[in-house]
Amino acid sequence: MFIDTHAHVYSEYYDDISSVLKESSVLGISKVICSGVDHKTNVELLNLAETHENMYITLGIHPESVNNYTEEDLLFIEKHLDNRKTLAIGEIGLDYHYDGYDKEKQIKLFRKQLDLAQKYNMPVVIHSREATQDTIDILKQYNLKGVIHSFSGSVEVAQIYIGLGYKLGINGVVTFKNAHIKEVVKSLGMNHFILETDSPYLTPEPLRGKKNFPGNIIHIANFLSEYLDISKEELSEITNANIKSIFDKFI
Ligand SMILES: [Zn+2]
């Protein structure tokens, strides 16, 4: 059994959420961790997790929501951290890819949520895009653990994050022909990695181009099992142990 550690299964992307989760479960995905990105999705995920036993959630304000969030949105997150389904604060972080999202504002929002994680001793789910140095410099000032989601950096950067207490999330990108991340995984070993789909984005081969869903973890697992020459049982054992080492509330 595999766990999808990062997906965005909510009404913005899927019409029939119950079917998406059921189909994934039939394919051997026992649990799906869905990440909120703004107040609207945080509220929706809390409701969905109430009625869908295999859905777990993380609550956070994504850097691309930096222009629209309010202090009340952060208070709302703080109030729902003790929900039995809330595993972490995320997805939070820094994204310098697009203009229009002020860096200083992003850093301020990121720190506020890291402060919350520290205060409540919660793991964090980190989004970092074209912002590696700032992300590392900031995370070094905290004593947290968590996931660097959709990791695509070098072995050297991976080692820094690992040293800080983080696991690295890999997704469909690893199955793409020219992706260098597979060599990073091979040289460091699966002990530092967990699997995610980032649904509805980043659909793995051989389905690339179609809409992604948590069941496609199977294709990522198939690829890694062959590429690393380990059985799928072993792969699921290692990744599930890695997941449990980060998300303490996971049963
Ligand atoms: Zn995401």
Give the start-to-end residue ranges of the domains of the chain.
2-246
Alpha carbon of 91 to ligand 1 centroid (Å): 6
Per-residue pLDDT tens digits of the chain, which is 251 residues long: 999 999 999 999 999 999 999 999 999 999 999 999 999 999 999 999 999 999 999 999 999 999 999 999 999 999 999 999 999 999 999 999 999 999 999 999 999 999 999 999 999 999 999 999 999 999 999 999 999 999 999 999 999 999 999 999 999 999 999 899 999 999 999 999 999 999 999 999 999 999 999 999 999 999 999 999 999 999 999 999 999 999 988 76
DSSP 97: S
Alpha carbon of 88 to ligand 1 centroid (Å): 13
Fold designation for 2-246: TIM Barrel (3.20.20)
At residue 240, the pLDDT reads 97
Could you identify the residue written with the tokens 């793995």?
204
Alpha carbon of 26 to ligand 1 centroid (Å): 23
Alpha carbon of 228 to ligand 1 centroid (Å): 26
192 touches 167 (CB < 8 A): yes
Alpha carbon of 20 to ligand 1 centroid (Å): 17
97: Cα within 13 Å, side-chain hemisphere: 7
10 Å Cβ neighbour count for 178? 5
The three-class DSSP label of residue 69 is coil
- 103 burial (CB, 10 Å; 0-12 / 13-18 / 19+) is middle
β-bridge partners, 55: 32
Alpha carbon of 163 to ligand 1 centroid (Å): 23
Alpha carbon of 77 to ligand 1 centroid (Å): 17
- Residue 32 structure tokens: 């799906």
Alpha carbon of 7 to ligand 1 centroid (Å): 6
The dihedrals phi and psi of 59, each to the nearest 5 degrees, come to -115, 135
The model carries a pTM of: 0.97
85: amino acid identity, one letter: K
Alpha carbon of 123 to ligand 1 centroid (Å): 16
Alpha carbon of 68 to ligand 1 centroid (Å): 18
